[in-house]
Every structure is written in structure tokens, then in C-alpha cells.
Amino acid sequence: MSQIDSPNVIPPFASPLPARVPKSEFVAGRLSLAFCNTVALPDAADRLGDAAALMGWADRAGFKAFAPPAPDVFTGLLEVREILRVIFTALATGRAPDAAALDRLAALAPPLHLSWNDAENRAEPQPQDLDPLGSLRDAIVRDAIALLTGPDVIRIKQCPAEDCRWFFFDTSKNGKRRWCAMSDCGVKAKVNRYRGRHMAAF
């Protein structure tokens, strides 16, 4: 099981997460989408608000940093998130992504170096940046580009709950998954519908 699939684990040094986020922070199923979800509604709290929070998130995503990020690495990651949010928001609402945002993303694409993994019988990209947070940035950019250039762009979704709007990758067979997490926003919507009907009866 990869870190992306694993349940939310809060490390001791991370900033507390907003109470409105009971689901796994990696419920999106793709690194680049999960990274965008680090700005959470309804308060738009930035869960990468400081270096410790970023290091905590990176660790949980499988990129353990042993030193705080240099200022340019930190702002570089936030810039990637801003570009991706513009692109993914457009796609999730049925619009073509902004050309300038695509150019900015392409300019951040790391050079690709491959090595052969015998056990997995496939090639895999090798991190070129020795800094774990630089590797994280490269992995996010690479994941986003793979997503955008592949056949699954239509599976990039955004949760319709007004107090959520998390991005997620729809892996359902029919491509009709609606909520980021059925156990969270899906259940809340059901409860609200039930309450609405119940109230209407009086």
C-alpha cells in the first residue's frame, strides 16, 4: 500500500488540521490533486502555512525532509500548487485550462532520468534533486503532467460540497463518483437531504 492510499496520520510536529477535514488528506488518490487539497474550504485554511506543516505533509506523502525548506523551495512548492489549482479547477468545471498556466507548469517539468526496476519490471523516474522537498515538487509536477497528457483527464473531479471542493481522481468504473469521500461529504449530503425532507413535513 502506498502512502497515498494510507489513512491520515498526523505527525507530532504538524500544525493541527482544520476540524472540518475528517477524511484522509490523500483521499484524492493522486499526489498532484492531494497537494491542491492542502488549501481547505470552508475557511481556505492553508495547511502548508509554515515550514513545519509542509515538512509534515511531505513526510506523510513519502518525502521525508530532515531540514526545513529553503525559502525558494517553500515558495516554489506553493507556486506549483497555485498553478495546479488553476488548471484542475478549469478541468473539473468543464473548461479548457489556461494556456499560461500550462506553460508555467511545463516550464517546471524536471528532466527525466529513468532506471530499470527489476522487481517491478518497469522503468521508473529517478529523483534528480537530492533535497526531499525538491523531489516532492518534481514528483507533483510529473504526476500532474502525466495526468494532463493521459486519457484520464475526465476523471479529475472536484467535490460539489460547498464546504469542501476537494479535488479527487475518480477511479470508479462508470466515472460517476460525485463526492471526494462518500463517508464524509457523501454522508453529510444524505443527512442534509433527509433533514430537508423531514423539515418540509412540518
**Which positions touch Zn ion (CB under 5 A)?**
159, 161, 164, 166, 180, 185
Nearest CB to Zn ion, comparing residues 137 and 177: 177
Measured from the CB atom, the residue of 82 and 163 that comes closer to Zn ion is 163
CB of 135 to Zn ion, least distance (A): 29
How near is the Cβ of 188 to Zn ion at its closest, in Å? 8
In whole angstroms, the minimum distance from the beta carbon of 17 to Zn ion comes to 15
For Zn ion, the closer CB: 72 or 162: 162
Instruction: Kindly write down the DSSP assignment for every residue of the chain, as one continuous string.
Output: --TTTSPP---TTSPPPPTT--S-TTTTSSHHHHHHTTEETTTTEETT-SHHHHHHHHHHTT---SSPPPHHHHHHHHHHHHHHHHHHHHHHTT-PPPHHHHHHHHHTPPPP-EEEETTTTEEEEPP--SSHHHHHHHHHHHHHHHHHHSTTGGGEEE---TTT--EEE---TTS---SS-IIIIIHHHHHHHHHHHHHHT-
Shortest spacing between CB 29 and Zn ion, in angstroms: 13
> Which residue, 57 or 166, has its beta carbon nearer to Zn ion?
166
